[in-house]
Structure 1
């Protein structure tokens, strides 16, 4: 990393705040992934906040488990989880240690290493689709559970780092309900995105799963 301001890692204090403050301020920041094949960089364009034990939509709502333990640790670390038995999602842990909360990194624009991302996302129809959604972002950047707990503030050749980047004009920041969240957390307007950016994923409301019924 260099001493150019936008190339400096975000510090621990940035993340050690309420998740609702951190989430919109992550837009425009640069996520750097060092892979064995080379670096991939992404400018964040969409995120969602999850407020731990205060939020029915959060993995930490019912307390600490083996799966969500990283969320209760120091801020500024990666929380990676496996979903639907198929995909990984990347989150940035926020708030002081012990107050589990995190920001889901939903989407972004690949600004370096597009050829590496495209090799991992061969079905993407355009560059804008490479990281358009949390599962696509994780796939394009070669993110899995082995990165759970990685320090996002370390910089250098760390596997994952969040840099100062290029935050958008605040007038371009939008917010609304989170994608796919139901129940009591459905209406929290904690999804944030950059207006009119083509890499932002489409909003989808929660649709309850139907239980299979047997014929009689």
Structure 2
């Protein structure tokens, strides 16, 4: 398959966002593997939980209540979460200081359990994430979906991006681009579509030396209704 050149995508995004400097200011760096390892497994569980609660909800409400989430769930200490009995989890799910959604609250111990199994094999969940190769990032998405709870779709990828792991995200603008250029067809998250998308991003990454995150944003800034005219 032939792909549009990265230079063409980059120039289009520059034209739409007000120039190269303006575009570059919109591309925050990813964390290095060492930085990802230093985060701590509790922060991974916290971000997964935050992304799950933000999905389909007003992000600002979750943001404002987040200090209470941290308090109620012991700063997302994995060991403490795993020792929590079911009746305590039910009580915590009714705490008015958090968003009371029991189905989403139940993902906290479930995802802690996923992380514990990874810890036993890899030493820490942070090392597992840090060492996962970016040229197979969709396989990490699939792992989180299969072994975790409510981490499918864009929830897992958005959480990884917030943590600083280099990943593209299939936003509506990116999806529109991929379909318009016949890179994918059919279901967005089918294995065929995911692997075709990975192939395309690997190509652009090799061509440009840019991160997957940068490329994803550059594609999105080059389409849709996000034009910012230069002076």
Same fold (TM over 0.5): no
Higher helix proportion (structure 1 or 2): 2
Q: Which has the higher contact order (CA 8 A, sep 6+)?
A: 2
Higher strand proportion (structure 1 or 2): 1
Structure label with greater radius of gyration: 2
